[in-house]
Amino acid sequence: MTRQWLSAVLTLAVIGLVRQSEAAEPAPPDARAASAAQFVQNIVTAKYADAASCFDTAMAQAMSPERLKQMSSSLIQQCGAFRETGETRSAQEAGFQVVFVACKFEKQTLDAEVVFDKDGKIGGLWFGPHIESRQSQYSTPDYVRPNLFDEREVTVGAGEWKLPATLALPKGEGPFPALVLVHGSGPNDRDETIGANKPFRDLALGLASRGIAVLRYDKRTKVYAAQMAASKDTLTVKQEVLDDAMTAVALLRNTPKIAPTRIFVLGHSLGGTLIPRIGKLDEHLAGLIVMAGTTRPLEDVILEQTEYLSSLNGAPSVETQKYLAEIQRQVAAVKSLALSADTPASTLLFGAPPSYWLDLRGYAPAELAKTLSQPLLILQGGRDYQATKADYEGWAKSLADRPRVTFKLYPDLDHLFMEGTGKSTPAEYDKREPVARKVIDDIAAWIATQ
């Protein structure tokens, strides 16, 4: 579920929200770059009030100096001591001017993505793996056979929420079975880019090499960040995930060379958690695949992940203990029976609106999966600290008596289904490692039998 809106759900995360203001007028890149670099420098040198003074109105409401302090503490826990800021680069995204500032920490380098509004105020802030890692270190896995398929650009949906997408289509007459890939939390691109890795690209190219068409698309929260922020008070996983997944399925059913009765959906992380809801929305799907989907309440998973990451640096400092106490308070607020549509988002986990938490309240993915008619494939990495063996066991226990369920546990794989050893940490995502061949083989073999 990496760079995302709910911070602890997948490594480093969206820390702010792009406000619903007008897009930024282009300013001299050097001016914005200097402002962004100073802003980041203020955060990492504990000048939180100075940093917060640069926010626009909406961002100021969502991100107080105290919350910046918590965020800085979390970054240091995960990445080690801050060293220095490095190069900057500027871009226009969805009409907003964005500056990326390289931030060098003891254990890894991150990019701070700083979003400016038309008045030069800061309306959004994210931290994610350094851009050079994402671009230069990606390599095509050796299990991909480019001569066996073609890729073409398509569009998922129409109108205000249309999304750019890529369809990997095997060569030949078909009709071919087809798979939709559904992302984890946050503003993911179609490849689910995380550090140096692109697990959705690995899956798409690997499975297309085995005769399966694969559709992947940029997530709505990435393409329409400002519009999503404008409706954040009523946001649920329906708008974030479910609507576009259903639209992608409809696109495949109307695509030449695709077998309309052999459409499958694969969800990773949050996408995996929501697979039972997707199955209920379309009972004609040929099969459903859960990759690292959680079965426990999301707020509990966030707290567990935060505690795990805090433990990686040994005994927690006083600041770390305060940060953990604040996360515990926010979890309690999410669970409180007093939670309502009027509860301020600023009091809840990472500023997510009450509508989001109320929609997920009572959702038991594994229990809902018992009522599905479609075959299920449940995949889990044994080294995953984000969706853990406890979640896998939750699926296994609930679905023990349900027919047409296949379980696969890979002891040496992490959340991205990459091979490794020892404790999994966020830093390993910066090293290029493809989705393991055995995962590609198992998915392809399972689809062939459905």
Q: Which of 35, 73, 269, 398 is catalytic?
A: 269
* Number of neighbours of residue 106 by Cβ within 10 angstroms: 11
Active site residue 415: yes
Task: Give me 350's structure tokens.
Answer: 């990472």
- For residues 267 and 182, the answer to whether their CB atoms sit within 8 Å is yes
The owner of tokens 């029976």 is 337
336 a catalytic residue: no
Helices 298-311 + 65-79 axis angle, to 10: 60
Catalytic residue among 130, 183, 268, 415: 415
Look at strands 376-381 and 96-105 and give their pairing.
Answer: unpaired
Residue in 32, 127, 131 with CA at minimum distance from that of residue 82: 127
Q: Catalytic pick from 56, 218, 384, 430? A: 384
8 Å CB contact between 83 and 17: no
In SS3 terms, the chain reads as CCCCCCHHHCCCCECCCCCCCCCCCCCCHHHHHHHHHHHHHHHHCCCHHHHHCCECHHHHHHCCHHHHHHHHHHHHHHHCCEEEEEEEEEEEECCEEEEEEEEEECCCEEEEEEEECCCCCEEEEEEEECHHHHHHCCCCCCCCCHHHEEEEEEEECCHHHCEEEEEEEECCCCCEEEEEEECCCCCCCCCCCECCECHHHHHHHHHHCCCCEEEEECCHHHHCHHHHHHCHHHCCHHHHHHHHHHHHHHHHHCCCCEEEEEEEEEEECHHHHCHHHHHHHCCCCCEEEEECCCCCCHHHHHHHHHHHHHHCCCCCCHHHHHHHHHHHHHHHHHHCCCCCCCCCHHHCHHHCCHHHHHHHCCCCHHHHHCCCCCCEEEEEECCCCCCCHHHHHHHHHHCCCCCCEEEEEECCECCCCCECCCCCCHHHHHCCCCCCHHHHHHHHHHHHCC
In whole angstroms, give the CA distance from residue 410 to residue 383.
8
Enzyme catalytic residues: 269, 384, 415
